[in-house]
A and B are shown apart, each in its own frame.
Chain A
Amino acid sequence: MKMKSFVMAASVAALAAGGAWAEGGKVKVGMITTLSGGGAGLGIDVRDGFMLATKMAGNENLEVVVEDDQRKPEIAVQLADKMIQSEKVDVLTGIIWSNLAMAVVPAATAQGKFYLSPNAGPSALAGKGCNKLYFNVAWQNDNLHEAAGAYANDAGYKNTFMLAPNYPAGKDALTGYKRTYEGEAAGEIYTDLGQTDYAAQIAQIRASGADSVFFFLPGGMGISFLKQYANSGVDLPVVGPAFSFDQGILQAVGEAALGIKNTSQWNKDLDNEANKEFVAAFQEEYDRLPSLYASQGYDTANLLLSAMGKADVSDADAFQAALKEADFASVRGKFSFGNNQHPIQDYYVREVVKEGDVYTNKLIGPSLTDHADAYAADCKM
């Protein structure tokens, strides 16, 4: 097995920054994310967003170690052990997938390390399993699906056909959608995880008499579904969370995605200063448009930097309080933490459009405002 290992000194300082960061001591961050295999695009975006923010801040006291988990839970666990025991990191971050997060996060927080999640938000860590050292800077897994359900009500859909892979996050997706969606279910299907051919399901959609389709098929599964759906002659409106419509995937779907509404907490045309600066700097640095994963990585780094300006990481209580203030300029505009240290934020509806040669998303309007997750009440902290 090959192991990719980057060790990056986060930044060489801009001299001017000087005293601004002087109160906080050094912080060492261990980033475990997916940099090889099928899901590598997501991890690369999180890493690039995170590294961009650290570079822009120019803080000498922040050191980042990046390792590749290959999307495998057992490797993520080994890397976390190595980072905690031999690298002596203070903060862990980076994991994309919920099953990997469940393998790493409880163990890391039990050893007194902070974990800032830039993507995965399993319900088990939002409710009873919440922890003072665990912050989610992205969303709880159900949130984007809840936003999709709210949009379906607004659009007047009464009879939705629902589709998700047969694994925990897929079940959370349908649960999330049904939590806000008020119409009937024309059908509910769980597909195989990693399934590439959806002809059978599309035929069922055609026969079901549905007036709309909701689907959660992240990554390559979504590409396959959308291409086949567009070619099937079924022309019901489709709605889904942003995961099948992010910047990395859209170019591979092409025209089949045009006009589809999807829900996200972020888009590149969100009108705030922090976001404009982020989008411009990301394109400048990496020569591509940022995805929502990149925005989450960027926000995670800025949250950490904001806390470093207020407290020393060796004082866990003070550092936790500093993180919880969320005193940073999020690219999403409004951003705060609920009692379970998961985001309270706005969710938006986006539409896939073509700008020049590039497929991307355009902001349409709000879906849910100041939305917290459904598990916060179970968190006793």
Chain B
Amino acid sequence: MPFILLIEQVLNGVQSGVMLFLMAAGLTLIFGVMGLINLAHGSLYMVGAFAAAAVAAATGSFLLALVAALAAAALAGCLIEMTVIRRLYDRDHLDQVLATFALILIFSEGTRFLFGSFPLFLEIPSALSGPVMLPGGIQYPLYRLVIIGVGLVIAAGLFLLIARTRIGIQIRAGEADREMIAALGVDIAKLYTLIFALGAALAGLAGALVGAIQSVQVGMGEPVLILAFVVIVIGGIGSIKGALIGALLVGLTDTLGSVLLPLFFANFMEASAATSVGSSLASMSIYILMAGVLLFKPTGLFGEA
């Protein structure tokens, strides 16, 4: 395989990794701090994409669409936290899974009720469309580079938020011992709503950014949700650093696996059989990666026992 094609695929892997990180960051924070399994996180991703598509169609501005995605997802996050999720913190995980699964169904059918069954249109802004030439003669879509940039900036922002700010201290304290910080006078209910809204906004942003190059349709969040769970299991539950490393690992494994495995099998198999076996194995590769990580680090790469 030519070297520049490999570089291009690495970029593709990084791009899918940073988008996964936006999903996984919220999921891991919510699980780490509140001990809640939120299956409806994928629905918030969908809410972001639909809000962006609706606002882009009405105003023609992609920037406004992104703002709308953040706002709508955060709002939806606040709303479900205060009405449903709040009642689940003291329940066991099975109740949480059941209730948040119900939320998926409610969001999906509600979205269909509002927007209809057909996919919506959301376009890359014209300033960011088309490919650019990178050093070394690699032609790469500009929008994907921008996505990588945005994702890395948000990752850096989250690290600063958690490591350097007062809210960050409260979040870390909440992870460590939630009774204690409640006793110290922190309004834990408000803190939980805030974290939930933050996670929701990140998911909504990911939905809007990715919606522009994929299809904005009902049920778009669930496949990403599954990958995001793989990411936080690999990275260690509750760790933002783990979510970033895990997301990049999953993105790269997924992308490079789907390209390299069929080529590898083609060395000693007939072409169409190699494609078939290679593709099948590639779709398993991230789960093999997860199993491998769990074998050596049962709490994930950066998880605490």
Contacts and interface: CB of A to CB of B under 8 A. Distances in A.
Interface of A: 1-2, 36-38, 40-41, 44, 166, 171, 188-192, 194, 196-197, 199-201, 203-204, 206-207, 219-221, 223-224, 227-228, 231-233, 248-249, 251-255
Contacts of A192: 258, 279, 282-283
B298 interface: no
Which 9 pairs across A and B sit closest by C-beta, in order of nearness?
A: A233-B131, A223-B215, A252-B119, A199-B12, A220-B215, A40-B117, A224-B214, A190-B279, A38-B219
Contacts of A200: 9, 12-13, 255, 258-259
B141 interface: yes
A190 B259 CA distance: 11
Contacts of B280: 166
B119 A220 contact: yes
Contacts of B283: 166, 192
Interface string B221-236: 0010000000000000
A204 B108 CA distance: 35
Nearest to A228: B213
Nearest to B275: A188
Majority DSSP secondary structure for residues of B touching A = helix
Given A2-B105, A44-B117, A203 B5 contact: yes
A192 B280 CA distance: 8
Nearest to A194: B223
Given A38-B218, A232-B131, A227 B120 contact: no
Most chain A CB within a 10 A radius of its CB, from B119, B123, B259: B119
Contact of A252 (B216, B272, B275): B216
Contacts of A194: 223
Given A44-B117, A189-B262, A203-B5, A37 B218 contact: yes
Contacts of B130: 231, 233
Categorize the interface residue count of chain B. Answer: 35 or more
B281 to A, nearest CB: 11
Given A190-B279, A191-B279, 15 more contacts: A2-B105, A36-B108, A36-B109, A188-B275, A192-B282, A200-B12, A200-B259, A204-B5, A221-B215, A227-B213, A231-B124, A231-B213, A248-B119, A252-B118, A252-B119
A199 B144 contact: yes
Given A200-B258, A232-B141, A220 B214 contact: yes
Contact of B220 (A40, A191, A204, A220): A220
A166 B279 contact: yes
Given A231-B141, A232-B131, A36 B118 contact: no
A191 to B, nearest CB: 7
B258 A233 contact: no
Nearest to A189: B275
B165 interface: no
Given A40-B218, A190-B276, A206-B139, A254 B213 contact: no
A192 B217 CA distance: 18
A188 B271 contact: yes
A251 B213 contact: no
Given A189-B262, A194-B223, A41 B117 contact: yes
A269 to B, nearest CB: 21
Interface in B98-120: 105, 108-109, 112, 117-120
A345 to B, nearest CB: 27
A40 B120 contact: no
7 contacts: A188-B271, A196-B210, A196-B223, A206-B139, A231-B141, A252-B118, A254-B123
Contacts of B12: 197, 199-200, 203
Contacts of B218: 37-38, 40
Contacts of A188: 271-272, 275
A255 B8 CA distance: 25
Contacts of B109: 2, 36
B2 interface: yes
Contacts of B271: 188
Nearest to A359: B121
B50 interface: no
B276 A252 contact: no
